[in-house]
Chain A
């Protein structure tokens, strides 16, 4: 699994700092929504808010 980790880290290194932050937040939102079975429009709104917060 170490190889896998290195490859993923390489992908992450190529991203801009905003993209890294957004990617992590998107995954957190998706993970939370998976457990509470949130609907797609709510998730879209939540991600949109994140983007606007990151690039105000």
Chain B
């Protein structure tokens, strides 16, 4: 998707028709729009969202007033009035025009507007223009609304991408980007499972009683499995929300003049505690794995001795190595002549005699196995010592981790008590809520653990029942056919679930790597971002070789979110270029980024680095900035990538302030015009 132009007519501050053309050049892909606070930068960002999806961002006030106030006031009662936004763009070498419009006849001072209408046009290959009947669906297929949060956003509010409550939503949006929505829908209980259920009923009807019974059990197991996964998702979301509220309370306590220092200490202790608990779990898993995979070696001491004794007794008896080899006896029988010269005619006594010897002779393979076994016995002693040492080391590490956990838990409990006793009512209230949340979170964590193990058990049961269903005896031909149908549907269900898991995991790894790359380019701090399996984005720093959660400033949160957006954009582009037409690997795309207040909370250094990174973040960028944010270092860095510059001049009826201009590319442009007859915004092109 490449944006060409946006046309606004009587839309919010934009009185009359205003046009903004966007830079589309390869080397100069940035469009810069300068505007004072309140000039309409956020409205311009929202104009894209409204035209494409019919929605406005939550931070926009008085959302019902879509028509410019001055235009509305100037319209006589009973007269028609219209506001519209038209976005012109190119996608897959086809030009599109999306125009959303609201028209009404004024009947009161309040704007009670009807539903807007949408008109989507596209050019056909022969150059004609045609209207697309299902316009909204077309837009959805080009850039799904779920994904718009990554490409149309306010830089100052972008932090929500790294807030804990957003992870589930981010996870969903990523699935949209990957084109996994059809897979998720197919697995919905009303789709494939419903088909399986109807086919199972047919199986029973046609007389496959036993198979039908198994199929029903299997269907129940599949339904349980789907329900458990749904529960898991809900619990994960709930835990995210609780954690988010808990983090907000911790932040309020940290900022509190009395509780602040104690809360800071507690946060540090809690972070280390969480980390040590994770480390303890890792150690326990390592120990379990050691025991499961190599634990048998501990019991081989006796077996080794017995085997050695047995081999020795065979050797002493002269059975090992065998005095006579079976291969040799067989060759005599084949040649029908003994080494003494006697003919070995089948049925004759000499033949029978030599044949008896074949049974007594030693097998070369057995001898070789004995030799191999004797050789391996020596290694077992070393392996046993090694295993013992590894288990002892792991046990010592677990004890040490546990000791540190106990110490930290005590420290936390002491800090909890101290904060609880502070003589400040607001602190007590916050603390009491925090404790409630802790209790709640602990319950959720327990339920999460239970749900995980229930899912594993159900998966094992499904596997077992599937095998039973395939082997159940069926006599009737119709029943056999019905079983085959049930079987194939369930096979598809399992495969789709695996594909969903694989692709989600891979995209997480890919995004994680890209976020790290972008973040490293922007910041000099030794922080490393990390995207968890639940799509939670955290920032860590290494101290004494160990990774700890880093204390993030608002600016760092903003950079982290920007890195995330850049990573998503980059991944979408790569997926688009790798498309093979395979239904399992579609989607992706090249999308522009429209960004308001890109440099909002950043200091001068970060402003420079972000400005340097912006042109590479997406194939096309529209950056909306104020004079204080956008001139200086930002303009220095962005100038060479900027294909188009515009000023959003604000005309205000305010009589208290003076005019203000902005100097760009050696010329002066109106920035704020006071004492105007009406309040409105005007786009002025910078030459």
> Please, how many angstroms separate the alpha-carbon atoms of A14 and B466 in the complex?
15
- Excluding A8-B499, A34-B182, 11 further A-B contacts by CB distance (< 8 Å) are A1-B578, A11-B502, A12-B584, A15-B495, A19-B491, A19-B492, A27-B182, A27-B183, A44-B198, A51-B485, A52-B485
CB-based closest 7 A-B pairs? A30-B182, A4-B506, A40-B190, A19-B491, A31-B182, A7-B502, A30-B185
Contact of A24 among B185, B491, B583 (CB under 8 A): B583
The minimal Cβ–Cβ distance linking A16 to chain B, given in whole angstroms, is 7
Are B186 and A30 in touch, CB under 8 angstroms? yes
Residues of chain B lying within 8 A (CB to CB) of residue A27? 182-183, 186, 583-584
Known: A22-B488, A44-B191, A44-B194. A12 touches B495 (CB 8 A): yes
16 residue pairs from A and B, CB less than 8 Å apart: A4-B502, A7-B502, A8-B503, A11-B498, A19-B495, A26-B192, A27-B584, A30-B181, A30-B182, A30-B186, A30-B191, A31-B182, A35-B141, A43-B191, A44-B190, A47-B191
> Chain A: interface residue count, which band?
35 or more
Are A3 and B506 in touch, CB under 8 angstroms? yes
The reply to whether the CB of B303 lies closer than 8 angstroms to some CB of chain A is no
Contact of A35 among B140, B194, B575, B585 (CB under 8 A): B140
Are A48 and B195 in touch, CB under 8 angstroms? yes
Are A23 and B510 in touch, CB under 8 angstroms? no
Are B585 and A54 in touch, CB under 8 angstroms? no
The minimal Cβ–Cβ distance linking A36 to chain B, given in whole angstroms, is 7
Residues of chain A lying within 8 A (CB to CB) of residue B195? 44, 47-48, 51
Residues of chain B lying within 8 A (CB to CB) of residue A44? 190-191, 194-195, 198
Which B residues, 243 to 257, have Cβ-Cβ distances below 8 Å to chain A? none
Residues of chain B lying within 8 A (CB to CB) of residue A11? 495, 498-499, 502
Are B488 and A1 in touch, CB under 8 angstroms? no
Residues of chain B lying within 8 A (CB to CB) of residue A14? 495
The minimal Cβ–Cβ distance linking B431 to chain A, given in whole angstroms, is 46
How many pairs of A and B residues are in contact by the CB < 8 Å rule?
A: 104
> Chain B: interface residue count, which band?
35 or more
Known: A3-B506, A4-B506, A8-B584. A51 touches B499 (CB 8 A): no
> Please, how many angstroms separate the alpha-carbon atoms of A8 and B491 in the complex?
15
The reply to whether the CB of B672 lies closer than 8 angstroms to some CB of chain A is no
Residues of chain A lying within 8 A (CB to CB) of residue B192? 26, 47
Residues of chain B lying within 8 A (CB to CB) of residue A22? 488-489, 492
Mask, B496-538, CB within 8 Å of A = 1, is 1011001100110010000000000000000000000000000
Residues of chain B lying within 8 A (CB to CB) of residue A55? 481, 484-485, 488
The minimal Cβ–Cβ distance linking B89 to chain A, given in whole angstroms, is 19
Known: A1-B510, A31-B583. A19 touches B188 (CB 8 A): no
Are A23 and B199 in touch, CB under 8 angstroms? no
Are B574 and A1 in touch, CB under 8 angstroms? yes
Contact of B503 among A4, A35, A41 (CB under 8 A): A4
The reply to whether the CB of B134 lies closer than 8 angstroms to some CB of chain A is yes
Are B198 and A48 in touch, CB under 8 angstroms? yes
Q: Which of B194, B488, B510, B578 has most chain A Cβ within 10 Å?
A: B488
From B188, which residue of chain A is reached at the shortest CB distance? A40
Residues of chain B lying within 8 A (CB to CB) of residue A34? 181-182, 185
> Please, how many angstroms separate the alpha-carbon atoms of A24 and B664 in the complex?
56
Contact of B583 among A7, A28, A51, A54 (CB under 8 A): A28
> Please, how many angstroms separate the alpha-carbon atoms of A30 and B188 in the complex?
11
Q: Which of A4, A11, A22, A44 has most chain B Cβ within 10 Å?
A: A4
Contact of B585 among A3, A5, A33 (CB under 8 A): A5
The reply to whether the CB of B137 lies closer than 8 angstroms to some CB of chain A is yes
Residues of chain B lying within 8 A (CB to CB) of residue A15? 491-492, 495
Are B488 and A35 in touch, CB under 8 angstroms? no
From A45, which residue of chain B is reached at the shortest CB distance? B195
Residues of chain B lying within 8 A (CB to CB) of residue A18? 484, 488
Residues of chain B lying within 8 A (CB to CB) of residue A40? 188, 190-191, 194
Contact of A23 among B134, B185, B198, B495 (CB under 8 A): B495
> Please, how many angstroms separate the alpha-carbon atoms of A44 and B485 in the complex?
14
Mask, B166-177, CB within 8 Å of A = 1, is 000000000000
Q: Which of A8, A23, A52, A55 has most chain B Cβ within 10 Å?
A: A23
Are B491 and A1 in touch, CB under 8 angstroms? no
Are B488 and A19 in touch, CB under 8 angstroms? yes
> Please, how many angstroms separate the alpha-carbon atoms of A34 and B583 in the complex?
14
Residues of chain B lying within 8 A (CB to CB) of residue A31? 182, 583
> Please, how many angstroms separate the alpha-carbon atoms of A43 and B195 in the complex?
10
> Please, how many angstroms separate the alpha-carbon atoms of A51 and B349 in the complex?
70
The minimal Cβ–Cβ distance linking B305 to chain A, given in whole angstroms, is 45
The minimal Cβ–Cβ distance linking A49 to chain B, given in whole angstroms, is 10
> Please, how many angstroms separate the alpha-carbon atoms of A35 and B496 in the complex?
20
> Please, how many angstroms separate the alpha-carbon atoms of A6 and B253 in the complex?
50
Which B residues, 533 to 581, have Cβ-Cβ distances below 8 Å to chain A? 574-575, 578
From A52, which residue of chain B is reached at the shortest CB distance? B485
> Please, how many angstroms separate the alpha-carbon atoms of A47 and B186 in the complex?
10
Residues of chain B lying within 8 A (CB to CB) of residue A43? 185, 190-191
The minimal Cβ–Cβ distance linking A24 to chain B, given in whole angstroms, is 6
Are B578 and A23 in touch, CB under 8 angstroms? no
The minimal Cβ–Cβ distance linking A33 to chain B, given in whole angstroms, is 8
Residues of chain A lying within 8 A (CB to CB) of residue B194? 40, 44
> Please, how many angstroms separate the alpha-carbon atoms of A7 and B496 in the complex?
12
> Please, how many angstroms separate the alpha-carbon atoms of A11 and B10 in the complex?
55
Contact of B186 among A4, A19, A26 (CB under 8 A): A26
> Please, how many angstroms separate the alpha-carbon atoms of A33 and B499 in the complex?
20
> Please, how many angstroms separate the alpha-carbon atoms of A23 and B583 in the complex?
10
The minimal Cβ–Cβ distance linking B172 to chain A, given in whole angstroms, is 14
Residues of chain B lying within 8 A (CB to CB) of residue A52? 485
